[in-house]
Amino acid sequence: MASEFRLVRRVEFYETDMAGIVHFSNFFRFMEMCEHAFIRSIGTNVHPGEGEPGAVIGWPRVHAECDYRRPLRYDEEFETHLLVREKKERALHFDFRFWKINETADQPLARGKLVVVPVGRIAGEVKAIPIPPLFATHIQVASPELLNQYPEKK
């Protein structure tokens, strides 16, 4: 069962502002890229289609946030670390931490959170559905040690 996932990539020029620093909005894209790679790693994808009534057709975000600590610049390699914080009947809560590769800082560059809800088509309407077994049986909540490894500084 999976409770965490890491995705490494390099900052592309188009992801930066005029100062060469990653534009804040891109951290939301990075979280989504990591989430999709995590779901693929368990053998499926976030949009498996409408094969049967009530099947998941998407995972809309019902909450998204990101706090920034230090800049990430053009051409730097970084890691997005996903942790499953909570698994409810109809929602998954993900924590994200961003690190520069080979950095030994005691705090991530940024921290993010996403809450996603599976939806399916029921009686012609798109509605929240329970997390399908295909996902639920492969995803577990991360250990408290991982979740609390880098406490937030106030």
Indicate which residues carry an active-site annotation.
Answer: 17
Nearest C-alpha neighbor of 6 from the set 35, 45, 26? 35
| CB contact at 8 A, 7 and 80 | yes
Nearest C-alpha neighbor of 147 from the set 67, 84, 65, 89? 84
Could you tell me how many residues make up the chain? 154
Nearest C-alpha neighbor of 43 from the set 127, 143, 134? 134
